[in-house]
Chains A and B, each alone.
Chain A
């Protein structure tokens, strides 16, 4: 607890919550605008599916760079002030790594809960006809939180071991580009599943089909890719251990 409260003291005036808060506000405004412009007769009975797939796509575009910024702001206070050599004489080295991961996962948890709560709220506000798909919304929360957590482990490792914060930020921006194109990749392709930033979209329980002739989009349920997601989570655990070992071995 002592280390946790110290970490809270350290991030005063860093406004890390603002990074996630701003993205949440942008996503809320964007989805509200889309819904207000939407002709509900086109997606009648599929409104929640529309919301789920749209938010998953927006997450894959916005969250990689958001995570890179949030994690970087959390880690660069130590790098800028050369504080590792001081901290390592007062607290276990692994705790420096863990407390930052824990604190960032709290931000992610709040963000994921808020975004998940947004779906029924928007649905209620626009009085959609589709019954609330609890299972799909639960899977959306799980995907958003777990993919963000794995990506933040990756970003944190890069942020803590890089001298400059440019590399982790470039990786985050690269992740955003992958996110932008993720909807264009065939979701079953092997290459698509090798890119961790794509898992926001891979983990979405809804897919869509656009009929160019009728100009109609049909949303349909797809089975959650348990195997691919399990592999992705194993990748996250591997990155966690690898990052921790690299950080523990780093000379300060």
Chain B
């Protein structure tokens, strides 16, 4: 494992498409750090570069530039493969993945699909029963995969990813196509994997609420750039309550509040500062009134995660 116990680390990871001179960066200098044993939510609007980044992590797409380290082993360096094919596959054998739509052989049963993965991963077929029970598909295992619903195909894909007890699981929008009960079940399953099987999960989604309910860490990507990366707790701290105040003379009121060591900012017509105790609030109001400033409105305000996400991405989509 790497010195910082990061299961995935990228440095300036970039992917560009197009002719020289007209190149468009789909992923721009992304620096990811996914700690071991966590659920890392990779959040971003549609087309932000989540799938491209995850495909680069798996070696399915060649990066234009940057470095990737998986499970402490350099994978890509200066945009070029740092490992030979055999070593690359040895690392990937310790990972499971479910990228975009699930992969399956429609003419074979669910169990036969898993047998193929077992053979390629060199995993005993006795694990099939275990992974089928984890995704609750034991009763459907002999049905042709082509006849499965999208939700069942997703579960089959997840079962395949779990074969061989990988240390790292990369799941790209795993709840796509699931009904509400299936989404909740999948969420609980993903949530339980780090503790039960000591796995690290990187899960992407364009739904903030989904990541909020599953992840410990979150990376937000927009237009190919990571604009936020830290623990979800830290993100929640951004949503602490604030007091918003409107007065007859906001600029004068700002000075008075700052003199009283209140970290205050002027936003549009409002003065905004962190929530204070009732006594302090009463004191501040009377101080403003004493200076002849009329207090027109005071209100408690809490930024939702959506507001934070929107202020970070500037997008009114995919929430």
A6 nearest CB neighbor, chain B only: B119
What residues on A are CB-neighbors of B122 within 8 Å?
Answer: 2
Bound state CA distance, A91 and B103, in angstroms?
Answer: 15
Q: Which of B37-45, B94-102, B205-213 contacts A (4 or more CB under 8 A)?
A: B94-102
Q: Which of A82-90, A146-154, A157-165 contacts B (4 or more CB under 8 A)?
A: A82-90
Bound state CA distance, A6 and B115, in angstroms?
Answer: 9
- Our count of residue pairs bridging A and B at CB distance below 8 angstroms stands at 80
What residues on A are CB-neighbors of B160 within 8 Å?
Answer: 86
Q: Which of B53-61, B237-245, B253-261, B308-316 contacts A (4 or more CB under 8 A)?
A: B53-61
Q: Contact mask B129-151 → A, CB, 8 Å, 1/0?
A: 00000000000000001000000
- Are the C-beta atoms of A82 and B103 separated by less than 8 Å? yes
What residues on B are CB-neighbors of A86 within 8 Å?
Answer: 97, 103, 117, 160
Bound state CA distance, A5 and B115, in angstroms?
Answer: 11
Bound state CA distance, A90 and B160, in angstroms?
Answer: 12
- Are the C-beta atoms of B119 and A85 separated by less than 8 Å? no
Expressed in whole angstroms, the minimum distance between the Cβ of A161 and any Cβ of chain B is 16
Say whether, besides A9-B116, A12-B112, A89 and B105 are in contact (CB < 8 Å).
no
- Are the C-beta atoms of A90 and B120 separated by less than 8 Å? yes
What residues on B are CB-neighbors of A84 within 8 Å?
Answer: 103
Bound state CA distance, A12 and B95, in angstroms?
Answer: 28
Say whether, besides A81-B103, A251-B60, A10 and B89 are in contact (CB < 8 Å).
no
A91 nearest CB neighbor, chain B only: B120
What residues on B are CB-neighbors of A88 within 8 Å?
Answer: 58-60
Q: Which of A12, A87, A89 contacts B108 (CB 8 A)?
A: A12
Q: Which of A5, A9, A77, A89 contacts B112 (CB 8 A)?
A: A9
Expressed in whole angstroms, the minimum distance between the Cβ of A1 and any Cβ of chain B is 10
Bound state CA distance, A3 and B120, in angstroms?
Answer: 7
Bound state CA distance, A80 and B115, in angstroms?
Answer: 19
What residues on A are CB-neighbors of B101 within 8 Å?
Answer: 82
Bound state CA distance, A12 and B116, in angstroms?
Answer: 11
Tell me if B104 counts as interface (CB < 8 A to partner A). yes
Q: Which of A12, A80, A81 has the largest count of B CB atoms less than 10 A from its CB?
A: A81
Expressed in whole angstroms, the minimum distance between the Cβ of A66 and any Cβ of chain B is 20
Interface size on B, residues (CB 8 A): 32
Tell me if B92 counts as interface (CB < 8 A to partner A). yes
Say whether, besides A13-B108, A80-B106, A83-B105, A92 and B85 are in contact (CB < 8 Å).
yes
What residues on B are CB-neighbors of A18 within 8 Å?
Answer: none
B118 nearest CB neighbor, chain A only: A6
What residues on B are CB-neighbors of A80 within 8 Å?
Answer: 106
A83 nearest CB neighbor, chain B only: B103
- Are the C-beta atoms of A10 and B116 separated by less than 8 Å? yes
Q: Which of B55, B58, B104, B107 has the largest count of A CB atoms less than 10 A from its CB?
A: B107
Tell me if A252 counts as interface (CB < 8 A to partner B). yes
Chain A residues with a Cβ under 8 A of chain B? 2-3, 5-6, 9-10, 12-14, 77, 80-93, 251-252
The 10 nearest A-B residue pairs measured at CB = A86-B103, A90-B120, A83-B103, A89-B92, A81-B104, A6-B119, A92-B85, A13-B107, A82-B103, A81-B105
Can you list 29 A-B contacts with CB-CB less than 8 angstroms, sorted by A residue number? A2-B119, A3-B120, A6-B120, A9-B108, A9-B115, A9-B119, A10-B105, A10-B108, A12-B108, A12-B112, A13-B107, A13-B108, A80-B106, A81-B145, A82-B100, A82-B104, A86-B117, A87-B103, A89-B58, A89-B60, A89-B95, A89-B97, A90-B89, A90-B92, A92-B89, A93-B85, A251-B55, A251-B60, A252-B55
Chain B residues with a Cβ under 8 A of chain A? 55, 58-61, 85-86, 89, 92-93, 95, 97, 99-108, 112, 115-117, 119-122, 145, 160
Given A87-B103, A90-B92: 12 more A-B contacts, CB < 8 Å: A2-B119, A9-B116, A81-B104, A82-B103, A83-B105, A85-B103, A86-B97, A90-B120, A90-B121, A92-B86, A92-B89, A251-B55
